[in-house]
Amino acid sequence: MDPRDKVLDKYSSKVYKNRKEHVITIKDGEPNVITADTRTVPGIMTNRGCCYAGAKGVVIGPLKDVLTITHGPIGCGFYSWGTRRNKAKGDESTKSFLEYCLSTDMQETDIVFGGEKKLRQALKEAVEIFDPECIAIASTCPVGLIGDDIHAIASEAEKEYGITVMAFSCEGYKGVSQSGGHHIANNGLMKKVIGTGDASPVKYSVNLLGEYNIGGDGWEVERLLKRIGYNVISIMTGDGSYATLKNAHTADLNLVQCHRSINYIAEMMKTKYGTDWMKVNFIGIDTTKKSLRDLAKYFNDPELIKRTEEVIAEEEASIAQGIAACQEKLKGKKAAIYVGGSRSHHYINLLNSLGVDTVLAGYEFAHRDDYEGREVIPTIKQDADSKNIESITVAKDESYYKERLTEEELMALRADGIPMEEYNGMWEDIMDGAVITDDYNHFETEQFIKELGIDIFFSGIKDKYVITRMGVPSRQLHSYDYSGPYAGFKGALNFANDVTMATHIPAWNMLTAPWKKTPTLNGSLGGNE
């Protein structure tokens, strides 16, 4: 029996009916359609996050000079604080608030009588203590239920304090996962920040979208781009800032790394400012090389093209020996990978270059296009949950709009294999016979580890210890387990070394749960004599 069928066979008929469309086996020559972005079955231990986690934890949170106040109970604020290693550097001209966990700490009485008074007081204290240029208010579930008008309060605060105050109605229950929060945060940044700066355009300027600087990834990509000769205006949003995002509209091109979390901004900037966008992947050696070469072809400057090849040759030579040593030790290993956004198939390419087969993969909160490619978007039916998320429209800005390339030139680039405003899904990268699981859970994690003989599992913190207690090494790709960067050439070597270490440490199979050696309960059978 196929491993997929063995695992699904253990479900009740009701759960099986739901999960069978979310779990498929890749078979060569057959069309692959998967169900995604739907509500999790109640009671299943999903690894998803909520709408608030997507807005505050992923998109808004890494903006270093934006002071973010969580309007809700303290547990929500604490959850989003320090859970992702979004590194950022402050300097003399840029304040950084990433080390702070700021919350209105709503109590039971606030839920009953309303929390608006408390939010106004929090804003007042934030301005007096920190003197920020921009404040973001992120609401959590109770706020949406009781009806606090955070947008009106934000508008009041803007007038009173003379700074930008953004409000995000990102209550956790909206949508089906953190993906809805990404959309809400994208909308807010477009409405309130992007395009409000007055910087002059600089030649060969780019924005890097969907890069969150986990373990320093954004810094490594920025280093490569600057070596070649590009001007990086802003990174959205790892080590990003209100100060740089204001001038993002002056860029010549947007580079989209994680399309799931921020492709909304890429689309809106194309409409409003004429800014073209290109799908890139700086995870892996071959994919980094392709992205750099595609970028040079877009600008079509002989000097940039020459400099690109020089940098690629130097960077690749510096890691060649280390990569070769890891490839020798990793060949034939089997991996499972579950991460958010488009990062799962980014890492599949990197693992494949190291000789590691990805036999199990999926996403926590993907849409169908993350699996099947952007061309399926017109066929995706919007359900009621998706309609909870505001979808804004933008118009051409006559002051800043500029057509960089004609549609004919863009079509020529696409014909040359350059992903201009398009992307392929996981199907392009995953091996035949692999199992794909959307919105995976702890039960399926354990069962597939047993069925597929997995050597290493890449996911997040929620299931890390479920995996390690089974004798399988687990690496977090949401925080890199205090390692990184993993992007670019140097990052690929860091990743290869970490995977080699993890798979060649015998400690994992020496772990024995204490209840397997000593009974947790002692007793005797009683009864009438």
Residue 384: predicted pLDDT: 80
Q: Domain range spanning residue 238?
A: 205-322+375-422
Q: What is the dihedral of CA 338, 284, 221, 200, to 10 degrees?
A: -90
Contact 182, 152 (CB under 8 A): no
> Are residue 288 and residue 164 in the same domain, yes or no?
no
Residue 515 domain-assigned? no
Q: What is the pLDDT of residues 470-490, one digit of tens each?
A: 889 999 998 898 899 999 999
Shared domain check, 305 and 171: no
Query: What would the pLDDT profile of 17-64 be if each residue is shown by its tens digit?
Result: 999 999 999 887 666 889 999 999 888 888 898 999 999 999 999 999
Question: Are residues 150 and 256 both part of a single domain?
Answer: no
Residues 295 and 224 reside in one and the same domain: yes
Highest mean pLDDT among 86-100, 190-204, 386-400: 190-204
User: Distance from CA of residue 286 to its chain's centroid?
Assistant: 21
Query: What average pLDDT score do residues 124-138 get?
Result: 97
Active site residue 307: no
Q: Which residue type does 73 have?
A: P
Measured between its terminal Cα atoms, the distance across the chain in Å is 51
Which helix (H) or strand (E) segment holds residue 236: the answer is strand 231-237
**Annotated catalytic residue: which of 36, 50, 154, 296?**
50
The reply to whether 259 belongs to the active site is: no
- Active-site residue (options: 22, 48, 182, 345): 182
Tell which of 171, 192, 213 closes a domain. 192
Identify which of 348, 353, 390 has the alpha carbon closest to the alpha carbon of residue 371. 348
Q: How many residues does the chain have?
A: 529
Q: Tell me, yes or no, if 84 is annotated catalytic.
A: yes
Kindly state whether residues 313 and 290 are assigned to the same domain: yes
Residues 112 and 235 in one domain: no
- Quick one: 94 and 241 in the same domain? no
pLDDT single digits (tens) 150-179: 999 999 999 999 999 999 999 999 989 999
Q: Is 442 a catalytic residue?
A: no
Number of domains forming the structure of the chain: 2
Q: Which of 4, 19, 84, 260 is catalytic?
A: 84
C-alpha 494/C-alpha 157 separation (Å) is: 45
Mean of per-residue pLDDT scores for the chain: 93
Residues 222, 154 within the same domain: no
Structure confidence at residue 528 as a pLDDT band (50, 70, 90): low
Whether residue 128 sits in one domain with residue 277: no
Candidates 36, 48, 51, 53; catalytic one: 53
